[in-house]
Amino acid sequence: MLKTFRTSDRTLMVLFTIFVLAAPLIMAPLGAGYPDLMQRFAIYGIFAIGFNILFGLTGYLSFGHAAFLGVGSYSAVWMLKLLSINIVPAIIFAVVVSGLFALLIGFISLRRSGIYFSILTLAFAQMSYNLAYSVLTPITNGETGLQLDLTDPRILDTVNETSQVASPSFLGLEMGDTAVVQFLGMDLQFNVGFYISALILIGMFYLSLRIFRSPFGMILRAVKSNQTRLNYTGFNSRPYTLTAFVISGMYAGLAGALLVCMDPLAGADRMQWTASGEVVLMTIMGGAGTLIGPVLGAGIIKYFENIFSRINESVVEGWFSALPDGVTDFLTAVVSPFLGSGWHISLGLIFMLVVIFLPGGLVEGASRIMNLVRRLSQTRKTTSSPSVARPLGDDESPEEPPPGSVNTRES
Amino acid sequence: MDAILLQVLNGLDKGSAYALIALGLTLIFGTLGVVNFAHGALFMIGAFCTVTFNNLLSFERVTLSATELSPWGTPLEIHVPYVELWFGDFGATMIDYSVFWSLLFAIPVMLLIGIVMERGLIKHFYKRPHADQILVTFGLAIVLQEVIKSVYGANPIPQPAPAAFVGSIDVGVWIGMAENSVIYPIWRLVYFLFAGVIIGGIFAFLRYTTFGMVVRAGMADRETVGLLGIDIDKRFTAMFGLAAVVTGMAGVMYTPILSPNYHMGMDFLVLCFVVVVVGGMGSLTGAVAAGFLLGILQSFASMPEVKDFLFGFSIDQVIIYLVAVIILLIRPRGLMGRKGVMET
- pLDDT tens-digit profile of A365-382? 888 888 889 888 887 766
B135, B143, B273: residue with CB nearest A122 = B273
The answer to whether the CB of B298 falls within 8 A of the CB of B11 is yes
Residue B338's pLDDT band (cuts 50, 70, 90): low
B41 touching A (Cβ < 8 Å) = no
The distance of B313 to chain A (nearest Cα, Å) reads 6
Lowest mean pLDDT among A73-82, A266-275, A331-340, B116-125: A331-340
Output the pTM of the full model: 0.82
Query: Testing the interface with B: which of A126, A272, A281 to mutate, by most B Cβ within 10 A?
Result: A126
Write out chain A residues lying below 8 Å of B322, CB-based.
127
- How many whole angstroms separate alpha carbon A142 and alpha carbon A403? 39
Residue A187 φ/ψ, nearest 5 degrees: -90, 110
Q: What percentage of chain B's residues is helix, strand, coil (to nearest 5)?
A: 70, 5, 25
B140 touching A (Cβ < 8 Å) = yes
Per the prediction, chain B carries an average pLDDT of: 83
Which chain B residue shows the shortest CA-CA distance from A107? B329
Query: Testing the interface with A: which of B121, B318, B326, B329 to mutate, by most A Cβ within 10 A?
Result: B318
Q: Which pLDDT score, from 0 to 100, does residue A364 have?
A: 84
Task: Indicate if the pLDDT at residue A286 is higher than 90.
Answer: no
CA angle in degrees (0–180, nearest 5) for B224-B230-B233:
90
Residue B107's pLDDT band (cuts 50, 70, 90): very high
Q: Which pLDDT score, from 0 to 100, does residue A254 have?
A: 93
Answer yes or no: do B329 and A347 touch at CB < 8 A: no
Mean pLDDT of A143-168: 72
Task: Indicate if the pLDDT at residue A245 is higher than 80.
Answer: yes
Residue A383's pLDDT band (cuts 50, 70, 90): low
- How many whole angstroms separate alpha carbon B302 and alpha carbon B315? 7
Task: Calculate the CA A28 to chain-centre distance.
Answer: 21
B79 touching A (Cβ < 8 Å) = no
- Whether residue A411 lies inside any domain: the answer is no
DSSP strands (E only) in A124-195? 146-147, 169-170, 173-174, 178-183, 186-191
- SS3 state at B133: helix
Which chain B residue shows the shortest CA-CA distance from A138? B313
Residues whose CB is less than 8 angstroms from the CB of residue A341 and which lie 6 or more positions away in sequence, other chains included: A309, B150
Please name the residues between 30 and 69 in chain A that touch chain B, using a CB distance below 8 Å: 59, 61
Which chain A residue shows the shortest CA-CA distance from B147? A345
A134, A337, A345: residue with CB nearest B317 = A134
Rounded alpha-carbon distances, angstroms, from residue B306 to A128, A211, B311: 20, 47, 9
Q: Which domain holds residue A302?
A: 2-308+358-381
Q: Which pLDDT score, from 0 to 100, does residue A352 have?
A: 87
Give the whole-number percent of chain A exceeding pLDDT 90: 17
Residue B84's pLDDT band (cuts 50, 70, 90): confident
Residues whose CB is less than 8 angstroms from the CB of residue A363 and which lie 6 or more positions away in sequence, other chains included: A286, A287, A290, A292, A293, A296, A393, A394, A395, A403
Residue A189's pLDDT band (cuts 50, 70, 90): confident
Q: Which pLDDT score, from 0 to 100, does residue A390 have?
A: 47
The distance of A337 to chain B (nearest Cα, Å) reads 7
Answer yes or no: do B266 and A280 touch at CB < 8 A: no
B128, B143, B270: residue with CB nearest A349 = B143
Task: Indicate if the pLDDT at residue A386 is higher than 60.
Answer: no
Q: What is the CA radius of gyration of chain A?
A: 23
Write out chain B residues lying below 8 Å of A274, CB-based.
266
A122, A277, A342: residue with CB nearest B150 = A342
The distance of B148 to chain A (nearest Cα, Å) reads 10
Please name the residues between 212 and 251 in chain A that touch chain B, using a CB distance below 8 Å: none
Answer yes or no: do B147 and A134 touch at CB < 8 A: no
Q: Which pLDDT score, from 0 to 100, does residue B1 have?
A: 67
- List the one residue out of A171, A230, A206, A257 whose CA is nearest residue A407: A230
Residue A407's pLDDT band (cuts 50, 70, 90): very low
Task: Indicate if the pLDDT at residue B344 is higher than 70.
Answer: no
- How many whole angstroms separate alpha carbon A210 and alpha carbon A133? 38
Q: How many CB atoms lie within 10 A of CB B201?
A: 11
Q: Which pLDDT score, from 0 to 100, does residue A159 have?
A: 67
Lowest mean pLDDT among A193-202, B67-76, B178-187: B67-76
Residue A398's pLDDT band (cuts 50, 70, 90): very low
Task: Calculate the CA B261 to chain-centre distance.
Answer: 14
B277, B314, B343: residue with CB nearest A119 = B277
Domain residue ranges in chain B: 2-330
- How many whole angstroms separate alpha carbon B230 and alpha carbon B155? 47
Answer yes or no: do B342 and A410 touch at CB < 8 A: yes
Answer yes or no: do A115 and B35 touch at CB < 8 A: yes
Q: Provide the CATH number for the domain around residue A297.
A: 1.10.3470
Residue ranges of alpha helices (H) inside A320-410 are: 325-335, 343-357, 361-381
Q: Which pLDDT score, from 0 to 100, does residue A152 have?
A: 72
Residue B312's pLDDT band (cuts 50, 70, 90): low
Write out chain A residues lying below 8 Å of B130, CB-based.
114-115, 406, 408
- Whether residue A366 lies inside any domain: the answer is yes
Write out chain B residues lying below 8 Å of A279, CB-based.
none
Q: Which pLDDT score, from 0 to 100, does residue A139 have?
A: 78
β-strand partners of B340: none
A402 touching B (Cβ < 8 Å) = no
Is the dihedral angle over the CA atoms A59, A44, A209, A387 positive or is it negative?
positive
- How many whole angstroms separate alpha carbon B29 and alpha carbon B45? 20
B155 touching A (Cβ < 8 Å) = no
- Per DSSP, B181 falls in state S
Task: Indicate if the pLDDT at residue A406 is higher than 50.
Answer: no
B22 touching A (Cβ < 8 Å) = no
- How many whole angstroms separate alpha carbon A307 and alpha carbon A175? 23
The answer to whether the CB of A69 falls within 8 A of the CB of A44 is no
What's the pLDDT tens digit per position in B203-248? 999 889 988 888 888 877 878 888 888 888 888 888 899 999 999 9
Q: How many CB atoms lie within 10 A of CB B290?
A: 32
Lowest mean pLDDT among A44-53, A295-304, B80-89, B130-139: B80-89
Residue B228 φ/ψ, nearest 5 degrees: -75, 5
What's the pLDDT tens digit per position in B156-192? 888 887 877 777 777 777 776 777 777 788 888 888 8
Q: Which pLDDT score, from 0 to 100, does residue A163 have?
A: 67
A273 touching B (Cβ < 8 Å) = yes
Task: Indicate if the pLDDT at residue A392 is higher than 70.
Answer: no
Give the whole-number percent of chain B exceeding pLDDT 70: 94
- Whether residue A406 lies inside any domain: the answer is no
Write out chain B residues lying below 8 Å of A118, CB-based.
131, 134
Write out chain A residues lying below 8 Å of B318, CB-based.
127, 130-131, 135
**Between A361 and B48, the higher pLDDT residue:** B48
Overall number of domains in chain A = 1
Answer yes or no: do B132 and A347 touch at CB < 8 A: no
β-strand partners of A190: A179
- Whether residue A341 lies inside any domain: the answer is no
Please name the residues between 86 and 115 in chain A that touch chain B, using a CB distance below 8 Å: 108, 111-112, 114-115
- Whether residue A390 lies inside any domain: the answer is no
Q: Which pLDDT score, from 0 to 100, does residue A402 have?
A: 47
Torsion of CA B253, B255, B260, B263, to 10 degrees: -50
- How many whole angstroms separate alpha carbon B153 and alpha carbon A388? 54
Q: Which pLDDT score, from 0 to 100, does residue A380 have?
A: 74
- Whether residue A398 lies inside any domain: the answer is no
Task: Calculate the CA A137 to chain-centre distance.
Answer: 28
